């Protein structure tokens, strides 16, 4: 016996909390990857990240309504189409925002905070005008709503597994784009030394625009995925933004690997603590630990080695 539990129950707890932690980890990575690209690679603090996610969620909502009204036979697979559309919508809006606003602010990174915060308010109001103030319900295909029973007690939700698979796919894709492609090389060159990159013939403007668009597009996919587990309303994006920044800053802003490591640390810590104490207390302790670690290691878990 351990505490109130028998050994078999205790190991079930560990297994279940491990899965819960992995799902939370995937959610964190999905939320934070887009932000880490924009913040880490470009130095732009994008406070409207949550609203880009919600755009993806609304696209999924529209897609689900459209498919169930006009092509109900395709309903079981509409979600994949919805994710592609969500990416495209957020990507396009990202390009537009970069062109209209962000590109004028590259030399004033703190101003991007204010400008994108304003943008987030504008987008929220826009969603409210178009979709109404109430939350909308996104209907999911049945196969996404079940769970897989491993033992009597341990059941793994399929949508959790789906989010995990999606996160893996996107992470691998981002890795290839950023570290194995010519375009990624250009992005990293621009990030390290904008003037020099321009001097060797890289179109820095284009690189910036595409990077911002990519970050926003990933947010859109995350938003589509979150319709499975969270709410879709004009202000729902705000729920995610604090956690997202927490993950990115804790990981070390410029490092994508750091983002993943930090998402893993925070999610496992929180999930373990949540089991042994109440949810609010676990959250407080997580935040407290992050603050203490950041005091000891202000640059975050991982940093790129660059010449100071």
Which residues of the shown chain bind another protein in the complex (CB under 8 A)?
5, 9, 12-13, 16-17, 19-20, 23-24, 27, 128, 133-139, 145-147, 149, 153, 155, 157-160, 226, 228-233, 235-236, 238-240, 271, 274-275, 278-280, 282-283
The residue (of 181 and 278) whose beta carbon lies closer to another protein is 278
CB of 86 to another protein, least distance (A): 18
Residue with Cβ nearer another protein (280 or 308): 280
Helices (H), the chain: 7-36, 42, 49-70, 78-100, 109-131, 158-179, 182-192, 194-199, 204-226, 237-251, 256-276, 279-296
Angle at 254 between CA 286 and CA 46, to 5 degrees: 75
Asked if 238 and 71 touch (Cβ cutoff 8 Å), the reply is: no
- Closest approach of another protein to the CB of residue 287, in Å: 11
Closer Cβ to another protein, 27 or 166, answer by number: 27
**How far, CA to CA in Å, does 219 sit from each of 70, 91, 134, 146, 160?**
28, 9, 22, 25, 18
Nearer to another protein, 90 or 286 (CB): 286
17 or 299: CB nearest another protein: 17
* Cβ proximity to another protein, 107 vs 142, nearer residue: 142
- Nearest distance in Å: CB 60, another protein: 13
> What is the distance between the alpha carbons of residues 249 and 272, in angstroms, rounded to a whole number?
22
Q: CB of residue 140 vs another protein: minimum separation in angstroms?
A: 8
Nearer to another protein, 24 or 253 (CB): 24
Instruction: Give the separation between CA 39 and CA 54, rounded to whole angstroms.
Output: 19
- Asked if residues 36 and 253 have their Cβ atoms less than 8 Å apart, the reply is yes
Closest distance of CB 144 from another protein, Å: 8
Q: How far is the CB of 278 from another protein (least distance, A)?
A: 5
Q: Least CB distance from residue 279 to another protein, whole Å?
A: 4
HSE of 263, CA atoms in CB hemisphere, 13 A: 27
Environment class of 37 (CB within 10 Å of its CB; exposed 0-12, middle 13-18, buried 19+): buried
Q: Name the DSSP letter for residue 262.
A: H
């Amino acid at each position: 016996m351990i505490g109130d539990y028998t050994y078999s129950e205790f190991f079930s707890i560990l297994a279940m909390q491990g899965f819960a932690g992995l799902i939370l980890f995937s959610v964190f990575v999905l939320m934070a990857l887009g932000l880490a690209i924009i913040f880490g690679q470009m130095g732009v603090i994008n406070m409207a990240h949550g609203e880009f996610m919600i755009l993806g969620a609304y696209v999924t909502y529209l897609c689900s309504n459209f498919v169930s009204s006009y092509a109900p036979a395709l309903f079981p697979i509409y979600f994949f189409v919805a994710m592609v559309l969500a990416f495209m919508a957020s990507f396009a809006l990202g390009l537009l925002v970069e062109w209209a606003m962000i590109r004028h602010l590259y030399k004033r990174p703190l101003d991007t905070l204010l400008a994108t915060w304003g943008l987030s308010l504008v987008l929220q109001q826009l969603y409210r005008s178009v979709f109404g103030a109430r939350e909308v319900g996104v209907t999911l295909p049945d196969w996404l709503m079940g769970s897989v029973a491993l033992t009597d007690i341990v059941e793994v939700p399929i949508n959790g597994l789906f989010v995990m698979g999606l996160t893996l796919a996107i992470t691998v894709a981002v890795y290839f784009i950023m570290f194995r492609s010519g375009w990624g090389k250009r992005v990293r060159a621009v990030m390290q030394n904008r003037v020099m990159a321009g001097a060797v013939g890289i179109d820095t403007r284009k690189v910036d625009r595409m990077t911002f668009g990519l970050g926003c597009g990933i947010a859109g996919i995350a938003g589509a995925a979150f319709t499975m587990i969270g709410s879709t309303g004009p202000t729902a994006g705000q729920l995610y933004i604090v956690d997202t920044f927490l993950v990115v800053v804790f990981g070390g802003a410029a490092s994508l690997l750091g983002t993943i490591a930090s998402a893993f640390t925070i999610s496992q810590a929180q999930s373990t603590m949540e089991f042994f104490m109440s949810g609010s207390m676990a959250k407080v302790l997580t935040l407290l630990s992050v603050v203490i670690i950041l005091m000891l290691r202000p640059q975050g878990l991982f940093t790129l080695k660059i010449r100071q």
